[in-house]
Amino acid sequence: MIGPRLVLVLGDQLDRDARVLSQCDQARDRIVMIESRAESLKVASHKARSALFLAAMRHHRDWLVAQGFRVDYVDIDKPEAESFETALAAVIARHEPHSVLMTEAGEYSVQQSISHSCQSASVELEVEPDDHFLCDRATFETWASNRKTLVMEHFYRHMRQSHDILMVDGQPTGGHWNYDRQNRHAFGRQGPGLLPRPPAFTPDRVTQSAIRDVERLFPGNPGSLDAFDWPVTREQALAALDDFVDHRLAAFGPFQDAMWSGEPFLQHSLLSAALNLKLLNPREVIDIAIAAADAGRAPIQSVEGFVRQILGWREFVRGVYWRHMPAYLDSNALGAEADLPGFFWTGNTDMACLADAIGQTLRFGYAHHIQRLMVTGLFTLLLGVRPQQVHAWYLAVYVDAVEWVEAPNTLGMSQYADGGVLASKPYVASGRYINRMSNYCSHCRYAPDKATGPHACPFTTLYWDFLIRHAPRFASHPRSAMQWRNLARVDEARRTEIRAAADQLRLALG
Ligand SMILES: Cc1cc2nc3c(=O)[nH]c(=O)nc-3n(C[C@H](O)[C@H](O)[C@H](O)COP(=O)(O)OP(=O)(O)OC[C@H]3O[C@@H](n4cnc5c(N)ncnc54)[C@H](O)[C@@H]3O)c2cc1C
Ligand code: SF4
């Protein structure tokens, strides 16, 4: 083949500083970007998630053209856009390239599919590492390979040291690695008070075209586009970052685990989608947060708590994903086989916490971490829903959902399907935890401290049922033994009662 070189830019690779762009010969090479209908259909993607990807890609295309790059952009309406594979085959046939250059894909199966397409067309594929991350895959492998278990805290400290982040003379800034004890507050009866409103980015012409296309092509997909105001360009993402640092970072730490009815965003940054699309670089996000601490505009416990999420958790889950793919997606360590309850797609449930978390998810494509982990995720874990169904739901409904970050969080942290690769014990709790961290229970028909009876909280029933069902596996586990020690005080008759209540609940939800 004698044509140009193709430089493939995937929908979540909208990094203006990507190494592949600096290697691109503007006069000779072609940049290829592909919109694919299958992307919104293989998991029935939330409309806001699809619109966000399309809008951000179209803005990036316009920016590339303005920089003088020649772009072959496969629009979602073209027949070849049926799937990514059909589009790539058509592009290769059109240009007859001598090679394809790309940044490594974030998703395992996408990289496999591109390699396969190039091989079938006898085109050389050059893959560059993804500079977006602070820990490249090889470095993570080196760190992980001589350890028996992977502990995020150890990885995070290693990252702080090796990147000299929040360190002074070899010691953690402020004297502590971790401010979790100061960071686990609930709001109390008075609630969160007047909250700063996150900035709204009114859809411009390009974004409106993406919204129209999604409504037209995927009318049956879940979620609403009525409130769509996510940042879709680098400029907007930077404005969102500044706004978070100016108005919410200071209170982020203490209340990062708190929930409040009707308040979907609280003090959270709402930056995950912009980070995952690579409109923002994690290092710049970390640096600006630390600068706020240095200037006395945010306390160290908030800044460290925020840095931990990005430098620690975000990089850690990516390393775990690549280390354990592709088998990771099939994991089901607890043998969970129930179906996902239908109300996960509607929010129609009388459980106030789930109605609120799912309702805001369908409205905005957003729920914060504790809602994902300790409301929706906790419920599916306790109910024993098949992890692959839970994974499909999380991958569908959040604007920030991309597999490399979603799968370890869902299958590992939330569902313990990986048997303890990511989290050393299952995150299980009863309705009492939700009651402590939110005001949901105050207007729910159920009582969080009741496991049986007409007002039994389903979380509490299922929590005790989970402990009973999984006692042989966890009762002697050093980190979870406490919860099972409490179970030891429950006599056989009471256990039978709880199990019967749980069975009834499953029947009702089935
Ligand atoms: C079951 C489940 C599924 C999840 N799926 C996704 C997903 O598809 N995409 C995604 O980006 N995050 C996912 N997360 C992690 C986390 O919930 C979101 O990153 C966060 O809620 C996004 O909101 P925010 O930007 O306001 O975050 P903030 O609370 O403001 O946190 C700051 C940033 O830290 C990073 N971060 C925080 N927690 C995590 C984490 N556990 N793993 C990786 N990065 C983290 C994110 O980039 C986030 O923007 C999931 C968590 C759970 C429990
Ligand atoms: S009582 Fe139970 S179901 Fe109701 S809001 Fe509280 S935790 Fe959720």
In order of their start, the domains of the chain are 5-128 (3.40.50.620), 137-196+248-324 (1.25.40.80), 342-509 (1.10.579.10)
Residue whose Cα lies nearest atom 4 of ligand 1: it is 406
Would residue 381 be called left, alpha or beta, if left means φ above 0 and alpha means ψ between -120 and 50 degrees? Answer: alpha
CA atoms within 13 A on the CB side of 157: 10
Beta strands, E only, 68-220 = 71-74, 99-103, 124-128, 167-168, 171-172
Pairing verdict, β 171-172 and 167-168: antiparallel
Find out whether 46 and 187 touch, Cβ atoms under 8 Å. no
Rounded to the nearest angstrom, the distance between the alpha carbon of 118 and the centre of ligand 1 is 33
Atom of ligand 2 nearest to the CA of 448: 1
| Alpha helix segments (H runs only) across 67-100 | 84-95
What is the token pair recorded at 432?
A: 């009492």
Among all bound ligands, the one having the nearest atom to the CA of 132 is 1
What is the spatial distance between Cα 434 and Cα 443, in angstroms, rounded to a whole number?
13
What is the atom index within ligand 1 of the atom nearest the CA of 376? 1
Give me ligand 2 centre to Cα 149, in Å.
Answer: 34
Q: Which pair of structure tokens corresponds to residue 44?
A: 């029935």
Taking only the tens of pLDDT, the chain with its 510 residues reads: 467 899 999 999 999 999 999 999 999 999 999 999 998 888 889 999 999 999 999 999 999 999 999 999 999 999 999 999 999 999 999 999 999 999 999 999 999 999 999 999 999 999 999 999 999 999 999 999 989 899 999 999 999 999 999 999 999 999 999 998 888 899 998 999 989 999 999 999 999 999 999 999 999 999 999 999 999 999 999 999 999 999 999 999 999 999 999 999 999 999 999 999 999 999 999 999 999 999 999 999 999 999 999 999 999 999 999 999 999 999 999 999 999 999 999 999 999 999 999 999 999 999 999 999 999 999 999 999 999 999 999 999 999 999 999 999 999 999 999 999 999 889 999 999 999 999 999 999 999 999 999 999 999 999 999 999 999 888 777 776 788 888 989 999 999 999 999 999 999 998
Interaxial angle between packed helices 282-294 and 300-307, expressed in degrees from 0 to 180 and rounded to the nearest 10: 170
CA 370, 374, 380 angle in degrees (round to 5)? Answer: 135
- What are the residue ranges of helices labelled H in 218-314? 234-247, 249-252, 272-276, 282-294, 300-307
Tokens of 159: 């990252």
272 alpha carbon – ligand 1 mean position (Å): 6
Q: Which residues line ligand 2 (CB under 6 A)?
A: 351-353, 431, 434-435, 440-441, 444, 446, 448, 457-459
Q: What CA–CA distance (Å, rounded) separates 234 from 105?
A: 20
CB atoms within 10 A of CB 341: 18
Whether the CA torsion 78, 84, 86, 89 is positive or negative: it is positive
- Residue of the nearest CA to atom 6 in ligand 2? 441
The token duo for 303 is 């800044």
Residue ranges lining ligand 1, Cβ < 6 Å:
268-272, 275-276, 306, 309-310, 313-314, 317, 368-369, 372-373, 377, 394, 398, 400-401, 405-406, 409-410, 413-414
Q: What is the pLDDT of residue 41?
A: 86
Dist. CA 412–CA 418, nearest whole Å: 5
At residue 2, the pLDDT reads: 62
266/259 Cα distance (integer angstroms):
8
CA distance 319 to 139: 9
Please tell me the residue having the least CA distance from ligand 1 atom 41: 313
The total of other beta-carbon atoms located within 10 Å of residue 290's CB is 19
DSSP state, residue 7 = E
Q: Which ligand is nearest to the CA of 306?
A: 1
Q: State residue 1's pLDDT score.
A: 47
At residue 304, the pLDDT reads 96
Which of 472, 292, 469, 462 has its CA nearest to residue 378? 462
